[in-house]
Structure 1
Amino acid sequence: MSNGDDENAEDADASEETALDADTLESRLDDVESAIEAAETEADLDDAEADLDSVEADVEAADLPEPDDEDEESREEQLTSRIEELRATLEDERGPYAEDVQETLDEAATKLRETRWTEAGGPDAKAAAETFLDAAGEELDADFAAASDELDDLAAALEGVGETIVDGGSAVEGGLDPDEDDETIAALLEAADELETGLDDAEEWSDLTVVEQLRVEGFYDRMNAENRKDFPPELTVVRLAEAENDPERIVQALEKFESDFMEENCIDALRRLGAEEAFDIMHERAQKRSRPEIEVLGKIGDERAVETLVEFANSDNPPLQKVTLRALGEIGSEEATQAVANALDDDESVIRSQAARALGLIGDTRAIAPLSDVLDDDDEETEVRASAAWALVQIGTERALEAAAEYDDDRAYTVQVEAEKARDATAV
């Protein structure tokens, strides 16, 4: 004999089993589909979505039978697939929303401001923005004209339309409602899409080839039939620019052309000019330990490069160290003295020699003691000792000259030569 509670539990189990039956779940999806088709408001679609969520949860919880044929799609897979289709249909039925229009307008405003337009593309971009503003004004019976035809003002006007239709304003109280103002929003969205297309079609600077960009910027203006002697013609321009002491055109070519050949010729020209205008691009490239650019920095002589270069002075990379030490010497900043002096202890004699010469070019009197120690070391390579003597002569203070002059009878001729220079200088 069973009590009432047992009978109620059995009824609940039977009800749940019925609810999770595949045919019943399919029928519930039919009801959701009908609800989506009949929906007239966003609230109706919200209700349909809630019902769809409920069916999906029940499909996941249901213990549906597997098909006899392994290749046959299961009922769970069929139901899940239909749920996905209904979700897509539901999303298609939503909106349009004022926020969608605003998003497109914000993107258009950003593009107007940040894009570099060509001479032909600029007017086309402005026309596309003005056309939308006129369309929005007609649709909302308002005036959205920009303060001027400048790109910044047009961009601000587009953003103003977006804010008005979402947040409200004198033209639209409370913003546009997706149910009540669906036709207006759809019209504005269509106009916004046309604006987007118009901006995409307007010619941007990046649409031009490198040669076209350079031609517009006057890169080739100084070249003519008489002075065009090299191939490619861009090499002629670089050589003309060097002859005319015009480093900006050479930097322009270096930035635009990816050819190794043109890069090498541009850097060679900039090295010979040693122009301050090349500092930024040379400094940026030098940070990647590129030796040719480091050489150019040395010729430019700008102390802003020191902080970067001192990191390479003791890098255990002899080719890099050598060019770096030479550049630091040419720059001549005493901020580099300690890093250069540290290289006097390098394992490679060529690096020790270059470090000594760099110290001589810098001229910091703090280097007199370590250079004197090098000169006094009988086990040191002659080349290094001669460089130390040369450096002391370059520093040129009385103490430095006296330290070098002591070696005027040195066994090494190259050391004697520098010592005699020092002796002569102290005798004056």
Structure 2
Amino acid sequence: MSNGDDESADAPEESADGTDAEDASEVPATAVTAESLGERLDDAEAALENAETEADLDDVEASLDAIASDLEDADLEAPDENEDEEAEDPAEELQTRIDDLREELEAARGPYAEDVQAILDEAAATVRDTRWTEDGEPDVRAAVSTFLDAAEEELDDEFPASGDDLDDHAAVLETVGEATVEAGLDADDDEKTIAALLEAAETLEEAIEDAEEWADLTVVEQLRARGFYDRVTGENRKDFPPELNVVRIAEAENDPERVLMALEKLESDFMQENCIDALRRMAPEEAFEPMHEAAQKRGRPEIEVLGKIGDERAVDTLVEFVDSDNPPLQKVTLRALGEIGSREATQAVADALADDESVVRSQAARALGLIGDTRAIEPLADTLGDGEEETDVRAAAAWALVQIGTERALEAAAEYDDDRAYTVQIEAEKARDAAA
């Protein structure tokens, strides 16, 4: 029999509201729903509209972070595609609202001293790196001066920009940017000061953008400003277009500067070809850099000019093309290396005596003759003595031995003064006569 105590031990306890305690423990916490998250976003949006300080904005950001975290953890039911194809996914809709509010939050922040510094650093770089016209330079100086006046008033400091040197003007803009940050301006307490500096910096930025730079001019305007057309007169105006007239006058006067100016600015194939032809005939040292740059891209006309200039700095670039399996490129390269005459190229050129193409082998032989390195005598003599070699290649080898001109080279060539090939025989006779 039960004594009553057993019944009390087995019976579930009642909570204060009369429900079973066990049942109460199983009641879930308030579930995160699309509706609850939407209401919290409404509150955050209202708080953002009413925010007056950075601290208020920080609170809004914290609220958005919490809502985003809860949204990520929530298991919101997506719409049934079969029931309503146009229904939006509540999670996506909520995330879009969060993203939009974050953008509004960032727009509401500041401005900060760092924003002013960023604009000034960029303006300084533009002032320093841009090529300004004669009209543009004074406009830039005036814009900087106007900004410095405003900065001195707002920061109660002096920022002098002395002289006309734009590098000095750029440096003082960077100094103002640093001073603005170091002043410890508060986004709330010093809002008016920061806003005034920011407005002045943006006005400076616009004025610099409006100042005339070389890139704003047409090609003809740039050339005219640099005196390109100055040498053309009524008496020597013969060719059309006038730019070709200038190039021909410059060549006649041995003035490579104008030719290089035209090469840089005039992009038509016609003018490019005429400029390079002029440089090939003039062979000015001033043309080395642009020709060398183009030669690195396998520009054959420019390689020809390098050969005429004869600067040994081109050798390392050119020897890379000797075994390129591109006969037109190989021929012009070998000719240029021969004209440059650097013995550093001897081995690479001598290796080309074994190329598959006879035109390359022939040009390699001639290049060795121009270089004049006595180390080439043996491979040239071998080529000359090869009965199966093409006649023009053997004749080129004989010619090269004559060009080297040492006793050993002449003797090697003179042996063939009765050769079956007339062109070889002619070179051998020259060698015999020279050695006599």
CA contact 1:102–1:163 (8 Å) conserved in 2? yes
Distance 2:255 2:21 in 1: 99
**Matched AA of 2:294:** R
Structure 1 residue aligned with 2:314: 305
1:202 aligns with 2:211: yes
Shift of residue 55, structure 1, vs aligned partner: 1.1
Counterpart CA distance in 2 for 1:8 and 1:184 is 60
Alpha-carbon distance change, 334 to 66 in structure 1, aligned in 2, over 3 angstroms = closer
In the TM superposition, what are the counterparts of 1:9-408 in structure 2 within 5 Å? Answer: 9-11=25-27, 13-15=28-30, 17=31, 20-67=32-79, 68-168=83-183, 175-408=184-417
Distance 1:358 1:5, change over 3 A: farther
The offset of 1:36, in angstroms, is 1.9
AA matched with 1:70: E
SS at match of 1:14: coil
Rounded Cα–Cα distance in structure 1 between residues aligned with 2:326 and 2:276: 22
CA distance in 1, matches of 2:294, 2:368: 25
After TM superposition, give the deviation of residue 251 of structure 1 in Å: 1.1
CA separation of 1:366 and 1:74: change in aligned 2, threshold 3 A = closer
Note if contact 1:205-1:213 (Cα within 8 Å) is conserved in structure 2: yes
Matched pairs, number: 417
Offset of residue 377 of structure 1: 1.3
- Does the Cα contact within 8 Å between 1:309 and 1:324 map onto a contact in 2? yes
- 1:339 maps to a residue whose letter is A
When residues 200 and 392 of structure 1 are mapped into structure 2, their CA distance, relative to the original with a 3 A threshold, is same
Q: Residue 132 of structure 2: SS of its match in structure 1?
A: coil
The amino acid of 1:182's aligned partner reads E
Deviation at 1:376, TM superposition (A): 1.2
Instruction: String of CA shifts for 1:248-304, please: whole Å, max 9, x gaps.
Output: 211111111110010111111111111111111111111111111111111111111
The CA deviation at 1:422 is 1.1
Superposed displacement of residue 7, structure 1: 4.9
Distance 1:301 1:313 in 2: 17
Unaligned runs of 5+ in 1: 169-174
Flag as ranges the 4+ runs of structure 1 deviating above 6 A. 1-5
- Report % sequence identity: 71
Question: What is the alpha-carbon root mean square deviation over aligned residues?
Answer: 1.7
Instruction: Give me the whole-angstrom Cα distance separating, in 2, the residues matched to 1:338 and 1:2.
Output: 104
The alpha carbon displacement at 1:149 in A equals: 4.1
Give the CA deviation at 1:388.
0.9
Q: TM-score, normalised by structure 1?
A: 0.93
Structure-2 separation of matches of 1:58 and 1:70: 27
Looking at CA atoms only, which structure, 1 or 2, has the larger radius of gyration? 2
Superposition deviation, residue 122 in structure 1 = 0.4
| Structure 1 CA distance for aligned equivalents of residues 292 and 347 of structure 2 | 21
List per-residue Cα deviations over 1:402-426 (Å, max 9, x = no partner): 1111111111111111111111111
Question: In 2 relative to 1, CA 243–26 (structure 1 residues): closer, same or farther, beyond 3 Å?
Answer: same
Q: Distance in 1 between matches of 2:374 and 2:41?
A: 90
- Once residues 89 and 267 of structure 2 are traced to their aligned partners in structure 1, the CA distance between those partners, rounded to angstroms, is 57
* More displaced 10-residue stretch of structure 1: 221-230 or 119-128: 221-230
TM-score of the aligned structures, taking structure 2 as reference length: 0.92
Partner of residue 4, structure 2: none
* Amino acid paired to 2:38: E
Q: CA deviation at 1:9?
A: 4.6
Of the three residues 418, 421, 435, the one matched with 1:409 is 418
AA paired with 1:60? Answer: E
